[in-house]
Amino acid sequence: MSGSESGMTEAIEKPRLRHPEKANRPASPHKPKPPWIRVRAPTSPVYHETRALMRTLDLRTVCEEAACPNIGECWAKRHATMMILGAVCTRACAFCNVATGLPDRLDPHEPERVAEAVARMGLAHVVITSVDRDDLDDGGAEHFARVIRAIRAAAPGATIEVLTPDFLRKPGAIETVVAARPDVYNHNLETVPRLYPSVRPGARYFVSLQLLARVKEIDPTMFTKSGLMVGLGEGREEVLQVMDDLRAAEVDFLTVGQYLQPTPKHHPIDRFWTPDEFAGLAAAARAKGFLLVSASPLTRSSYHAGEDFAALREARRHLIEDAR
């Protein structure tokens, strides 16, 4: 609504700060990216088609909101991770580029628009994530379930992966999402427990672990997945301990990628792990029994999610056959 329509006179609107809570933080010095981090600028026509469809249907993607480096590659394959429940997050994680502040009004028609996008793009596998909505009674769990049901109706052949927040431990939230039967339930631990107070201050490491364990408890056939970033100041031994914790929660699929600092006010990069170090982490994770591991500098939790889901199913099939 314009100022004249609302009866107001020429109020000058200040541009909204994307991360108001970080405004007074000191900026950390820029760390040049090593050669293995470089990505190509998006140019493909399919990238532009994907972008246009998101705009037409008024949908948001974590690819754009989080300034993901893989957007050129993923969108050229129509692989966009849609972000539901609005554009504004009620938490303020130190690594994340999603806008923070007062959340948007919940859009009851969003599930149908997400489903329409999946159908129009002809997706075989879709990843749905969200901002944190600590303000909602169920943390947004029922909205996730509605999105899953709408996709099943509009695109019955598509497999569905959800990447959810911890729902602030709201009673019944995990159960609501699991009951809608996504194919993969992902919840990222993001970092090692020692760094939670500075990296993920609104979350609790053991709550996130319990969430993953609870999903398996409710439905042992549902694939579970979790992701970590490295480069925030963690040690290798700490990462290996997190892997053990995730295996104790029976998590099937682990992703590990390099943290990249979205702005100078975000958490500084401690260091860039080398491709060889990622290969070492992947080997260690496989030895610990994950069904599938993706660990590389540019790995993100939704990167290559479609191909990885096929590999996950195949790995489980082999496991069952070997046990016979």
Interaction site with ligand SF4 (CB under 6 A)? 62-63, 68, 70-71, 74, 79, 81, 300, 302-303
Are residues 300 and 71 in contact, defined by beta-carbon separation less than 8 angstroms?
Answer: no
Q: State the nearest-atom distance from the C-beta of 11 to ligand SF4, in Å.
A: 36
Cα(187)–Cα(289) distance, integer angstroms: 19
Q: Which is nearer to ligand SF4, 53 or 240 (CB)?
A: 53
Q: State the nearest-atom distance from the C-beta of 244 to ligand SF4, in Å.
A: 26
Are residues 130 and 83 in contact, defined by beta-carbon separation less than 8 angstroms?
Answer: yes
Q: Which is nearer to ligand SF4, 98 or 249 (CB)?
A: 98
Q: What is the bridge-based pairing of β-strands 82-84 and 60-61?
A: antiparallel
Please give the C-alpha separations between residue 323 and each of 110, 135, 319, in angstroms, as whole numbers.
43, 46, 6
Q: Which is nearer to ligand SF4, 168 or 298 (CB)?
A: 298
Q: State the nearest-atom distance from the C-beta of 300 to ligand SF4, in Å.
A: 4
Residue type, 175: E
Q: In sequence order, what are the beta bridge partners of 229?
A: 257
Are residues 267 and 261 in contact, defined by beta-carbon separation less than 8 angstroms?
Answer: yes
Decide: residue 221, CB within 10 A, 0-12 exposed, 13-18 middle, 19+ buried: exposed
Q: State the nearest-atom distance from the C-beta of 305 to ligand SF4, in Å.
A: 7
Provide the 8-state DSSP code for 20: G
Q: Which is nearer to ligand SF4, 28 or 36 (CB)?
A: 36
Q: State the nearest-atom distance from the C-beta of 67 to ligand SF4, in Å.
A: 9
Closest by CA position to 245, among listed 212, 204, 217: 212
Q: Which is nearer to ligand SF4, 81 or 261 (CB)?
A: 81
Q: Which is nearer to ligand SF4, 176 or 188 (CB)?
A: 188
State whether residue 144 is helix, strand or coil.
Answer: helix
Q: Which is nearer to ligand SF4, 68 or 136 (CB)?
A: 68
Q: Which is nearer to ligand SF4, 224 or 302 (CB)?
A: 302
Q: State the nearest-atom distance from the C-beta of 59 to ligand SF4, in Å.
A: 13
Q: State the nearest-atom distance from the C-beta of 186 to ligand SF4, in Å.
A: 11
Q: State the nearest-atom distance from the C-beta of 79 to ligand SF4, in Å.
A: 5
Are residues 122 and 78 in contact, defined by beta-carbon separation less than 8 angstroms?
Answer: yes
H/E segment holding residue 18:
none
Are residues 312 and 284 in contact, defined by beta-carbon separation less than 8 angstroms?
Answer: no
Q: How many CB atoms lie within 10 A of CB 318?
A: 11
Q: What phi and psi values does residue 292 have, to the nearest 5 degrees? A: -145, 145
